Amino acid sequence: MAVKNNLKKDFSILITGTGFSGICVGIQLKKAGIHNFKILEKANDVGGTWRDNTYPGAACDVKSNLYSFSFEPNPNWSREFSAQKEILDYIRHCVKKYDLEKHIVFNWEVATSIFHEDKAMWEVINTRKEKLFANVIVPGNGPLHIPSLPDIDGIRDFKGEVFHSAKWNHDYDLDGKNVCVIGTGASAIQFVPEIQPKAKNLYLMQRTAPWVLPKPDGEFTSLQHTLFEKIPFVQKLNRDFIYYFNEAQVVGFMYEDRILKLGEAIGTRYMKKIIKDPTLRKKLTPTYRLGCKRVLMSNNYYQSLAKPNVDVVTDGIVKFTKDAVITGDGKQRKIDALILGTGFHVADSFLFYDVHGRDDVQMKNAFKDGPQAYYGSAIHGFPNMFMMLGPNTGLGHNSMVYMIESQTNYVVDAIQKMMANNIRTVEVKEEVQEKFNEEIQRKLINTIWDSGCKSWYLSANGKNHTVWPGFTTEFRKRTKTFNMNDYIVEKEIVKKREAELV
Ligand code: NAP
């Protein structure tokens, strides 16, 4: 990225979050010669979702050679699919290497953001009511961090231990306990095999059977490590291979669902190989098309469900009492602990943010028909705000880090252009945003995500405001440069800075 010399020096930027998004924007701003930014972090460490999700077995289901920054390969990944700790260490390494720590304000949890039109500045207020001001804000909170807690009759009366997968209580010993797990999504299939050997009984409450494929995982050999280190091109080739292999799945998801039959056959065969009990097999057989919900991969999930201390319960939870769970078949199972693998608020996450745009319109009231943005980043009515991983940037097939790098190109280009041209505000045109979202929704029709299952990709209105419907190469191409013509641009020069960054 070329460093421009004529950039306005007092132009300020506030980024939220030190996950992959916030760190990527910080690094690229620095590479562009922009240093007047802060990254606001609610916790006392970096890492975002890879800091918060410490549940046993937490790992990435995208291969690490791809699930990492293109500009910062790590030749030392221990295995194909790295575990949480290694990914967190990688993020910490990036923070150190790119000298970002001095930009990070730890223990600074954003509560409210208000756009002041007269000053063309964002006021960002934390939970202690402290304030910071900036020309541009870049919320990089991530779409998977507000735990979704089920509202089941009596759940608050349960007196045992209760925690969500993203807030794992490592002090609670599951040894010899009767444990109830709700959920069979990407998180649960990773922690269930880890806790099964400890639990006396594990009652797995399954609402929908997921598709689970074998995970092509393995440790890297020392020869591979040496090759990656000494000949970076080898690692780049490996990365490209993984990327294009994953990318090819879009053809099945969007255009030719007969391709998915192959994946379904692999999943069914794999399940039948591990699960011998026909009743359990029936319970574990998915009743929707592969890809409609996130496709899962595991080499130990089915194996753990076949163990005698595991009961896969599909009768639905009716209620909780102070020490038991009662299911639709009338059975009462005494339990000591309840673990919620119930996922996150994704499509409705915007309801949780107190963001006030132009004319004091709150984000939760800004959308007529579900959340929408332009390239998942700019929102009409919210000038000078560029979200990371906003609506319709999610993927079911490839690395989110790729999407983050694409969006970062766009955001940094926007900021550079604003700084170079003394631009006061940029706000995506309403008609541009509308047209873009009509295109997105049109493309989603008849895709696999529209094939009838109930997934967290869908909003309450049944529309998919989560997934990018297409190849990520297209997203990369379209976000390469920030096109001013798509925006209402106010060129007036801000003469005086109204506030300083602390
Ligand atoms: P999830 O995929 O949304 O799964 C939530 C599970 O809880 C589903 O099985 C859901 O059932 C069930 N559930 C929710 N509310 C329920 C209720 N009231 N009663 C019964 N069951 C209920 O959540 P997650 O497993 O935490 O994963 C979320 C996302 O995080 C993933 O899709 C993925 O994008 C990401 N993730 C990624 C990795 C990775 O390796 N990269 C690992 C973990 C998570 P239904 O299916 O019937 O709705």
Q: Is 32 in the pocket of ligand 1 (CB under 6 A)?
A: no
Task: Report the separation in Å between the CA atom of 342 and the middle of ligand 1, taken as the mean of its atom positions.
Answer: 5
Q: Is 160 in the pocket of ligand 1 (CB under 6 A)?
A: no
Mean pLDDT throughout 228-250?
Answer: 97
Hey, which CATH number is domain 171-210+248-340, 3.50.50.60, 3.40.640.10, 3.40.190.10, 3.40.30.10? 3.50.50.60
- Report whether pLDDT(497) > 60: no
The proportion of the chain whose per-residue pLDDT surpasses 70, expressed as a percent, equals 96
Phi, psi values for residue 178, rounded to 5°: -90, 115
- Report whether pLDDT(461) > 90: no
User: What pLDDT shows up at residue 108?
Assistant: 98
Task: Report the separation in Å between the CA atom of 288 and the middle of ligand 1, taken as the mean of its atom positions.
Answer: 16
User: What pLDDT shows up at residue 496?
Assistant: 47
Mean pLDDT throughout 135-155?
Answer: 94
Task: Report the separation in Å between the CA atom of 418 and the middle of ligand 1, taken as the mean of its atom positions.
Answer: 40
| Nearest atom, ligand 1, residue 59 CA | 40
Residues 6+ apart with CB under 8 A from 122: 14, 113, 114, 115, 116, 133, 134, 135, 136, 137, 384, 385
Cα–chain center distance at 499: 33
- Report whether pLDDT(280) > 70: yes
Mean pLDDT throughout 195-208?
Answer: 98
- Report whether pLDDT(319) > 70: yes
- Report whether pLDDT(493) > 70: no
Least confident of 259-273, 342-356, 432-446: 342-356
Q: Is 187 in the pocket of ligand 1 (CB under 6 A)?
A: yes
3-state class (DSSP) for residue 279: helix
Enter the pTM of the model: 0.95
Q: Is 467 in the pocket of ligand 1 (CB under 6 A)?
A: no
The proportion of the chain whose per-residue pLDDT surpasses 90, expressed as a percent, equals 90
Task: Report the separation in Å between the CA atom of 397 and the middle of ligand 1, taken as the mean of its atom positions.
Answer: 16
Mean pLDDT throughout 246-265?
Answer: 93
Mean pLDDT throughout 442-464?
Answer: 90
Q: Confidence class of residue 502 from pLDDT cuts 50, 70 and 90?
A: very low
- Report whether pLDDT(232) > 90: yes
239: left (phi over 0), alpha (psi -120 to 50) or beta: alpha
Question: What confidence tens digit (pLDDT) does each residue in 56-97 have?
Answer: 999 999 999 999 999 999 999 999 999 999 999 999 999 999
Q: Count the Cβ atoms, other than its own, within 10 Å of residue 497.
A: 14
Q: Count the Cβ atoms, other than its own, within 10 Å of residue 426.
A: 22
Q: Confidence class of residue 350 from pLDDT cuts 50, 70 and 90?
A: confident
- Report whether pLDDT(498) > 80: no
79 and 218 Cβ atoms separated by less than 8 Å = yes
User: Whose alpha carbon is nearest atom 28 of ligand 1?
Assistant: 343
- Report whether pLDDT(36) > 60: yes
Task: Report the separation in Å between the CA atom of 184 and the middle of ligand 1, taken as the mean of its atom positions.
Answer: 6
User: What pLDDT shows up at residue 500?
Assistant: 47
Mean pLDDT throughout 369-386?
Answer: 96
Mean pLDDT throughout 197-203?
Answer: 98
Residue span(s) of the chain under CATH 3.50.50.60 come to 13-146+345-491, 171-210+248-340
Q: Is 182 in the pocket of ligand 1 (CB under 6 A)?
A: yes
HSE of 103, CA atoms in CB hemisphere, 13 A:
26
With 0-12 CB in 10 A as exposed, 13-18 as middle and 19+ as buried, what is 461? exposed
Q: Is 184 in the pocket of ligand 1 (CB under 6 A)?
A: yes
String of DSSP letters for 103-163: GEETT--EEEEEEETTTTEEEEEETT--EEEESEEEE---SS-SB-----TTGGG--SEEE
User: What pLDDT shows up at residue 127?
Assistant: 97
User: What pLDDT shows up at residue 347?
Assistant: 83
Fold for the domain defined by 13-146+345-491 = FAD/NAD(P)-binding domain (3.50.50)
- Residues 26 and 7: their CA atoms lie apart, in Å, by 17
Question: What confidence tens digit (pLDDT) does each residue in 302-311 have?
Answer: 999 999 999 9
Residues 6+ apart with CB under 8 A from 51: 43, 45, 88, 91
Cα–chain center distance at 369: 22
| Nearest atom, ligand 1, residue 186 CA | 25
